[in-house]
Structure 1
C-alpha cells in the first residue's frame, strides 16, 4: 500500500509541476494549442491513475474508479478553467475515459510493485515530452490567437464525449467479473530452491487477488519441501488453503504461512484457496 500511495504522490507532483508551467505559459498559447495540451494531459493522468489505483486496491473496480473520477475532477478544473467551462468538462471527461482504460488495462497485470514503477517512469517521460512541446508551442513567434469558439460545436463535442465515457464505464462495470485478472506478470512455473545445508527444497508463493504466483512449482522427489505462502495485506480474512492431494485444510494469516511436506512422491498435486477462485499446483518429479 505504501508503494502505491508513493506512486500516486509522485504522479501528483509531476502533474502539479506541469500545471504550474501551464499557468505560466497559457498567455502565449492559442486556444487550440491550450485545449490540445490539456486533453493530452488528462489522457496521460487518467491512464496512470487508473492503472495505479486498480493495483493499489487489488482489482476493486468501484474503489479505483471513485478515486480516479475524484482526481480527474480536480485536474479538469485546474487545467480547463483557463479556457472556459466546456474545456473543464471535456478535460474531466477525457481524464475519466483515460482512467477507465487504465483500470481495464491494469486488471490484466498481476499485482506487483514493478507495474507501478514502470507506470511512474513512463508517465514522467510523457509529462516531460508534453512540457517541452508546450514550451516550444508557446515560444513560436508566429503564434496567433484563435477566434471565438463555436458554442454549438463545443456542446456537441461535450455531449459525444459524455456518451462515450458513459458507455465505457457501463461496459467495464458489466464485464468486470468476467475479466481474467493478473494474466501478465504471473509466473506459470518455477523451480524450487534446494538448500544443501538443510537438505530442503524451498519456495515462496505470493497470494493476492491475482491468485498464486507462481501458479506451479517443480520439486524433486523424496526431499522435504518447505512452502511459504505469502498472503497480501489486502487479502480477505480467514482464507483457507485446501488440498485433498496434500491433506491440507488450513486457515491462512496475512504474511508468511509455512508448510512442510516430508518425503514427496512423484505426481501433480493441486491446492486451492478462496472457494477455488485461485488454484495452484506442485509438480514432483
Structure 2
C-alpha cells in the first residue's frame, strides 16, 4: 500500500532502510586477531545478568522470534514513512508510537529509557493473549499492539525494543529477556537497555527501572537481540541469582514447539 505521494516516498524509503535493524549481525571477526571462540566469550560475558549463554539453532522460541522479525520489517517501513511525513501518515497507531519516540529523543541517558518505559506502560492495557486473541502466546509487532491498545508482556517488550532503537539507542545495548517469575510460576518478558555498562530493566509491571543485578524472584531463561536468540546457562549463576531463594523447575521446555510467556501478566 502506498501511504504518501511519490515526492515524499523516496526520502521516507531511504529513512526506512536505515531503520531496519533486525538483520544478520555484522561479521565482527573480519580483520581482527580475535578467534571466534574468544569473541563468543566476550559476547556472553556482556549479556544481562552476567550469565553465559548459548546460541540456539532452532526450537519454538527461535521460530517465534523469526515470525516477529518478519512482522517488524513491515512495521519499521511504515514507521519510517510516517516519521518522514507526519501530515500524510494514515496510521493513528504509528503517530501515537512516534509521539513517544519524539519525547524520548529529546532526552538523554537514563531519562530516555525511563520515558519509553513509562509511556509504553501507560499506552497499553495489560491483556492476556487468550482474552485478546483466543490463543496462547501471540507475539505482536508495535503497530498491532498500539492499534488495539492492549497486549501482554512480550508485546510491551517488543514495542520498547523498537522505540529505543528509533530514539537512538544502539542495538548492541538492547536485549529482550525471558525470565521465569518464581513467585507467580510463569514466564515474563522484559527489555534491558545498557547505559554506561549497567543493564536497566524496562518492565511493564513497574515504572521504576532497576539494574539486572537487583532483580529478585526471577530466573533468566533466554536473551534475544538483533544477533539472535540465546539460552542462559543456569550452571553459572550470577551473584544476584545465587542469592535468591529456591527456584522451581521450569514448567515447560521453552526451546520446544511453543513458549507461553506470562499469559496472565
TM-score (norm 2): 0.26
Say which one has the larger Rg.
Answer: 1
Higher relative contact order (CA 8 A, sep 6+): 2
Question: Which structure carries more helix by proportion?
Answer: 1
TM-score (norm 1): 0.25
